[in-house]
């Protein structure tokens, strides 16, 4: 490994860490500015996330769809696309998985559960594939197309829930045990938390995406297309095929994240007032994890700690839960402004070299 590659890798670790530290610092400043005890607030957050097996189970359950959605966003981003539509793809995966569970409730679990999961993956992939085809053959902006598809997914979902899955109802019945991802031993281990077997699927997908992106020809071609699609075409790679394939994989992973919500967390489908937060949070997790599967794992655990632990802050310390949103927004801001952090790191390293010399 060259010195330049080593420095780039170190910077890739330092930037997210500094973003988190600065985000937490901003949150502390806000708390102190309004008369709250920041130390007590963050202590309450940690107790609310790690204080009992129940909270740990809820944290891991919260992280499960975040990991999958973030992996989906990262695959598309590696290929050079900003797939803002992961929220809509997540929603379609959620809808499809629950719909199959409602249509075929009496199938054996060994058949029904995989079928529901595959339905979620397929729905997310097909919804993302629309943007992929339009980008590949008509050079349309995937950002604009996926934003429009997000709203389309929202209203289609609400129509299907009210007019197909129910008789003018706002939520479906709960899925049967045969379609559920919940398993007794995880509930017992975490004292009746909603942790489900989806956490194992998420961990498997982390390894699968790492292998795909680092050890296969497809991963190399995705990176090449992301860097320069014209050069990739000139080198004999099919840029159109790779654009569509990257979007299909991206949407499939987001749809899988939606299936985790439908089959593991909520266990039903309901009318949505807005796009699921897990879709946009998943994008933030991918950016904080710098697109690395391992980085995404740690970023998802951090976001889950903030969200699950944050619910205990008002009760334990009197700090409003909205502080958590400020911290998350600040972290995302500093990740987005990573150029500034890199510039500061470079200047500090140059100063240190001069002092050593």
pLDDT digits (tens, 9 = 90+) for 286-300: 999 989 999 999 999
319-340: burial string, b at 16+ Cβ within 10 Å, e else: bbeebbebbbebbbebbeebee
State residue 332's pLDDT score. 84
| CA atoms within 13 Å, Cβ hemisphere of 355 | 6
Q: What residues does 171 pair with on adjacent strands?
A: 270
Alpha helices in 142-271 (DSSP H): 142-160, 184-189, 198-215, 217-227, 229-234, 239-260
Q: Structure pTM?
A: 0.94
Q: Is the dihedral of CA 77, 81, 84, 86 positive or negative?
A: negative
The domains of the chain, with CATH numbers, are 38-319 (1.10.3470), 321-356 (no CATH)
User: Average model confidence (pLDDT) for the chain?
Assistant: 91
For residue 81, the SS3 value is coil
Confidence of residue 193 (pLDDT cuts 50, 70, 90): very high
For residues 7 and 307, the answer to whether their CB atoms sit within 8 Å is: no
| Mean pLDDT, residues 52-79 taken together | 97
């Amino acid at each position: 490994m060259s010195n330049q590659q080593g420095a780039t890798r170190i910077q890739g670790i330092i930037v997210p860490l500094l973003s988190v530290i600065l985000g937490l610092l901003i949150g502390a400043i806000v708390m102190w500015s309004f008369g709250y005890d920041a130390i007590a607030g963050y202590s309450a957050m940690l107790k609310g996330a790690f204080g009992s097996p129940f909270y740990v189970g809820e944290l891991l359950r919260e992280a499960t769809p975040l990991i999958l959605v973030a992996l989906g966003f990262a695959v598309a981003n590696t290929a050079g696309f900003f797939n803002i539509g992961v929220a809509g793809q997540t929603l379609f995966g959620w809808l499809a998985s629950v719909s199959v569970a409602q249509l075929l409730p009496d199938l054996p679990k060994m058949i029904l559960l995989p079928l529901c999961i595959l339905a979620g993956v397929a729905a997310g992939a097909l919804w993302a594939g629309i943007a992929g085809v339009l980008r590949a053959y008509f050079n349309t902006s995937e950002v604009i197309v996926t934003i429009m598809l997000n709203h389309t997914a929202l209203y289609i979902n609400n129509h299907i829930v009210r007019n197909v899955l129910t008789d003018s109802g706002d939520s479906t019945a709960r899925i049967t045990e045969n379609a559920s991802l919940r398993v007794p031993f995880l509930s017992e281990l975490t004292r009746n938390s909603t942790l489900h077997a989806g956490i194992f699927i998420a961990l498997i997908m982390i390894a699968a995406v790492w292998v795909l992106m680092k050890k296969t020809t497809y991963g190399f071609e995705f990176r090449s297309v992301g860097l320069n699609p014209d050069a990739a075409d000139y080198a004999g790679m099919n840029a159109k095929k790779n654009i569509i394939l990257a979007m299909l994989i991206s949407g499939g992973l987001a749809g899988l994240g939606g299936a985790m919500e439908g089959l593991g967390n909520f266990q039903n489908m309901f009318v949505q007032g807005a796009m699921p937060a897990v879709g946009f949070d998943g994008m933030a997790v991918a950016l904080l994890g710098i697109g690395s599967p391992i980085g995404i794992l740690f970023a998802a655990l951090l976001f889950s700690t903030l969200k699950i632990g944050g619910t205990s802050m008002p009760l334990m310390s009197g700090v409003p839960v909205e502080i958590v949103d400020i911290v998350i927004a600040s972290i995302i801001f500093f990740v987005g402004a990573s150029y500034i952090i890199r510039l500061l790191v470079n200047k500090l390293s140059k100063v240190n070299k001069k002092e050593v010399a």
